[in-house]
C-alpha cells in the first residue's frame, strides 16, 4: 500500500487562489446588487414628513380632480406598474401615467402614456397596484402619475409637504405632489413605482471588496515578479 503526501503547490499558488476567491466573491456581490436593482420598487417618501398620516376620513379630498406626483428620473427606468396606498369600498379608481407638461406649477394634464381603472374594495389602508405593458421612462424627462375617484374614500393617507421644496431620492429628482395637476397643494399621496432597469449602484461594501481584490492582485504580481527575479539570479 502506497501513502502519498498531499502535494503542496507552494505560496504562489495559495496567493493566486486567495485572489481568485476574493474576486469571485466581489463579482457575486455585484451580480446580487444588479439582480436587486432589476426588480426595483420606488415609494415616494418626502424627507419633510417620512412617516405620513391619515389627513381625512369619509372624504374625496381632491381625488375627483386627480391627485398624484410629478418626478424626473435621473436614469432610464422601465415601469411595469404603479400603486397607491388607499382605503376604498366599492369605488372605481382610475390612474394615468403621463408625460408632464412642466415640473412645477401646472404640470398637466400631459400626454397619457398608460391608463386604466378598476372597482376597488380594500380592508383598510392597502396598496392598490395597476399593472400594464412595460413603459420606458427616459432620464431627464418629467412624468406624472395621477389617481382619480369620484366617491368618498374611507381614509386618505398623505405626506405633509407644507412649505417644502420639491425633493430628490435615489434615481429620481424634482419630486412634488399635486392636486388637480397643480403642485401648489401641500400634501403628497403615498404612491409607488414598480419596474426594472434602474441604474445599479453597488453597496459601499461591494466597492471595498473590489478595491481590496485589485490591490491584492497588484501585491501578488509584485511578489511574483521579485520571486521570479530572485530565482533567475
Contact between residue 149 and residue 180 where contact means Cβ atoms under 8 Å apart: no
CB atoms within 10 A of CB 208: 12
**C-alpha dihedral over 23, 25, 27, 28, to 10 degrees?**
160
The domains located in the chain, with CATH, are 43-196 (2.60.120.820)
| pLDDT tens profile 15-71 | 566 656 655 555 555 444 444 445 689 999 999 999 999 999 999 999 999 999 999
| pLDDT tens profile 174-229 | 999 999 999 998 999 999 999 975 443 444 554 455 556 556 555 556 666 565 55
* Rounded-to-integer distance, Cα 101 and Cα 179, Å: 15
Sheet holding 89-99, edge to edge: 111-121, 89-99, 143-148, 67-73, 172-179, 167-169
Cell digits of residue 28: 457575486
Contact between residue 79 and residue 72 where contact means Cβ atoms under 8 Å apart: no
Record the pTM: 0.70
Quick one: DSSP state of residue 182? B
Amino acid at each position: 500500500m502506497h501513502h502519498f503526501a498531499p502535494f503542496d503547490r507552494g505560496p504562489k499558488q495559495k496567493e493566486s487562489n486567495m485572489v481568485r476567491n476574493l474576486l469571485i466573491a466581489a463579482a457575486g456581490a455585484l451580480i446580487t446588487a444588479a439582480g436587486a436593482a432589476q426588480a426595483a420598487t420606488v415609494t415616494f417618501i418626502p424627507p419633510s414628513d417620512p412617516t405620513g398620516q391619515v389627513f381625512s376620513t369619509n372624504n374625496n379630498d381632491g381625488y375627483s380632480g386627480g391627485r398624484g406626483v410629478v418626478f424626473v428620473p435621473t436614469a432610464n427606468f422601465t415601469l411595469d406598474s404603479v400603486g397607491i396606498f388607499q382605503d376604498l369600498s366599492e369605488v372605481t379608481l382610475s390612474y394615468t401615467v403621463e408625460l408632464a407638461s412642466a415640473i412645477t406649477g401646472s404640470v398637466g394634464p400631459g400626454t397619457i402614456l398608460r391608463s386604466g381603472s378598476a372597482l376597488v374594495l380594500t380592508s383598510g389602508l392597502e396598496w392598490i397596484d395597476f399593472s400594464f405593458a412595460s413603459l420606458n421612462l427616459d432620464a431627464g424627462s418629467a412624468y406624472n402619475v395621477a389617481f382619480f375617484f369620484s366617491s368618498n374614500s374611507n381614509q386618505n393617507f398623505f405626506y405633509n409637504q407644507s412649505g417644502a421644496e420639491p425633493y430628490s431620492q435615489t434615481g429620481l429628482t424634482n419630486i412634488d405632489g399635486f392636486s388637480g395637476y397643480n403642485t401648489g397643494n401641500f400634501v403628497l399621496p403615498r404612491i409607488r413605482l414598480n419596474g426594472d432597469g434602474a441604474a445599479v449602484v453597488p453597496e459601499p461594501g461591494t466597492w471595498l471588496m473590489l478595491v481590496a481584490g485589485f490591490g491584492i492582485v497588484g501585491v501578488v504580481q509584485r511578489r511574483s515578479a521579485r520571486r521570479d527575479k530572485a530565482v533567475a539570479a
